[in-house]
C-alpha cells in the first residue's frame, strides 16, 4: 500500500466522501483527489491535516503506507518525520 491508497482506504473506512474530507480538513477536493490517484505527493502538512480529520495518528497512516515496503513513495523529509515520530512514540 502507498500513501495514496492508505488515505483512500482510511477515508472510506470512516465513510467520508472526498468532499467531506475536503470540508473538514481545509484541503481542496481537487488536491485530495490527486493525492488518492497518485498524481500528487502529499506534504507533511497535508498528511497531518488528513490524519487529524480522520482521527488517526500520522504514524499509523504512514505505517499503513509502508506496510509492503513502499515507503520509497514518500519524500525523504516525510521519511525523516516518520522516523522521528516513531522514536517520539517509543520514547514516551
All structural domains of the chain, each given as residue ranges with its CATH number in brackets, are: 3-91 (1.10.260.40)
pLDDT: which is higher, 89 or 2: 2
Matching residue, cell 490527486: 34
Tens of pLDDT along 4-56?
A: 888 998 898 889 999 999 999 999 999 999 999 989 988 889 999 999 999 88
Residue 39 CB partners (closer than 8 Å, separation 6+): none
**The whole model's pTM is what?**
0.72
pLDDT of residue 86: 63
Helix/strand number for the chain, H first, E second: 6, 0
Amino acid at each position: 500500500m502507498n500513501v495514496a491508497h492508505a488515505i483512500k482506504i482510511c477515508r472510506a473506512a470512516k465513510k467520508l466522501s472526498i468532499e467531506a474530507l475536503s470540508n473538514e480538513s481545509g484541503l481542496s477536493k481537487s488536491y485530495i483527489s490527486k493525492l488518492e490517484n497518485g498524481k500528487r505527493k502529499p506534504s507533511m502538512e497535508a498528511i497531518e491535516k488528513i490524519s487529524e480529520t480522520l482521527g488517526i495518528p500520522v504514524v499509523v497512516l504512514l505505517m499503513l503506507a509502508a506496510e509492503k515496503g513502499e515507503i520509497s513513495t514518500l519524500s525523504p523529509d516525510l521519511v525523516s518525520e516518520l522516523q522521528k515520530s516513531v522514536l517520539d512514540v517509543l520514547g514516551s
